[in-house]
Amino acid sequence: MNPTSDTPAKPLHKNELLKAESNFLRGTIAHDLADTSSGTIPEDTNQLMKFHGVYAQDDRDLRNQLRKEGKEKAFSFMARIRATGGVCTPAQWLALDALADSHANGTIKITNRQSFQFHGVLKGNLKPAIKEINRVLLNTIAACGDINRNVMCNPNPLQSGLHAEVIKVAEAITQRLLPRTRTYHELFLDGELVAGGEPEEEPIYGKTYLPRKFKIVVAVPPHNDVDIWAHDLGYIAISDDSGKLIGFNVTVGGGMGMAHNQIETFPRLADVLGFCRVDQAVDVAEKVVMVQRDFGDRTDRKHARFKYTIADRGLAWFRKELEGRLGYELGTPRRFEFTDTGDRYGWVEGSNGTSHYTLFIENGRVKDTPEYPMKSAIREIAKVHRGDFRLTPNQHLMIAGVTAAERPRIEQLLQAHRLDAANGASALRLNSMACVALPTCGLALAESERYLPELVTLLETEMEAAGLRDDAIVIRMTGCPNGCGRPYLAEIAMVGRAPGKYNVYLGAAFDGSRLNTLYKPSVPADQLVPLLKPMFRQYAAERQPGERFGDFTIRAGYVKPTGTPADFHEKKEAPAPAAKPVAAS
Ligand code: SRM
Ligand code: SF4
CB distance 482 to ligand 2 below 6 Å:
yes
CB distance 480 to ligand 2 below 6 Å:
yes
Annotated catalytic, 435?
yes
Task: Give dist(CA 399, CA 378) in Å, integer.
Answer: 10
- Give SS3 for 96: helix
Task: Give dist(CA 356, CA 388) in Å, integer.
Answer: 10
CB distance 443 to ligand 2 below 6 Å:
yes
Please report, as a single letter, which amino acid is at residue 460: E
Which residues of the chain fall short of a pLDDT of 50? Answer: 1-5, 7, 194, 573-585
* Contact (CB, 8 A) for 82 and 115: yes
- Give SS3 for 254: coil
Tell me what pLDDT residue 2 has. Answer: 45
Q: What is the 3-state secondary structure (H, E, C) of 499-543?
A: CCEEEEEECCCCCCCCCCEEEEEEEEHHHHHHHHHHHHHHHHHHC
The rounded Å distance from CA 313 to ligand 1 centre is: 25
Kindly report, residue by residue over 130-170, the tens digit of the pLDDT. 999 999 999 999 999 999 999 999 987 667 788 889 999 99
Task: Give dist(CA 156, CA 336) in Å, integer.
Answer: 16
* Contact (CB, 8 A) for 76 and 59: yes
* Residue of minimum CA distance from atom 3 in ligand 2: 484
* Contact (CB, 8 A) for 495 and 256: no
- Give SS3 for 390: strand
pTM: 0.95
Structural domains in the chain plus CATH codes? 1-11+146-342 (3.30.413.10), 346-424 (3.90.480.10), 428-568 (3.30.413.10)
CB distance 446 to ligand 2 below 6 Å:
no
* Contact (CB, 8 A) for 556 and 542: yes
Annotated catalytic, 484?
yes
Tell me the β-bridge partners of 80. 117
**Whole-number Cα distances in Å, 517 to 57, 450, 568:** 32, 25, 6
Among 119, 452, 478, residue to substitute to test ligand 2 (most atoms within 8 Å of Cβ): 478
CB distance 477 to ligand 2 below 6 Å:
no
Helix (H) or strand (E) holding 90: helix 90-103
* Residues counted in the chain: 585
Q: Which DSSP symbol is given to 10? A: S
- List b or e across 238-255, with b for residues whose CB sees 16 or more CB atoms inside 10 angstroms: bbeeeeebebbbbbbbbb
Residues in contact with 286: Cβ distance below 8 Å, sequence separation at least 6, in sequence order: 176, 177, 204
Residues in contact with 109: Cβ distance below 8 Å, sequence separation at least 6, in sequence order: 116, 117, 118, 119, 364, 365, 366, 436
Catalytic residue among 88, 144, 153, 480: 480
* Residue of minimum CA distance from atom 13 in ligand 1: 442
Catalytic residue among 19, 80, 82, 268: 80
Residues in contact with 582: Cβ distance below 8 Å, sequence separation at least 6, in sequence order: 269, 514, 515, 561, 562, 563
The rounded Å distance from CA 484 to ligand 1 centre is: 4
Please report, as a single letter, which amino acid is at residue 400: A
Task: Give dist(CA 436, CA 363) in Å, integer.
Answer: 8
Annotated catalytic, 149?
yes
Residues in contact with 314: Cβ distance below 8 Å, sequence separation at least 6, in sequence order: none
Q: What is the pairing mode between strands 355-359 and 75-81?
A: unpaired
Among 109, 144, 436, residue to substitute to test ligand 2 (most atoms within 8 Å of Cβ): 436
* Contact (CB, 8 A) for 379 and 95: no
* Contact (CB, 8 A) for 400 and 387: yes
Ligand 2 atom having least distance to the Cα of 496: 7
* Residue of minimum CA distance from atom 2 in ligand 2: 480
Tell me what pLDDT residue 6 has. Answer: 54
The rounded Å distance from CA 479 to ligand 1 centre is: 11
* Contact (CB, 8 A) for 414 and 456: no
Ligand 2 atom having least distance to the Cα of 485: 5
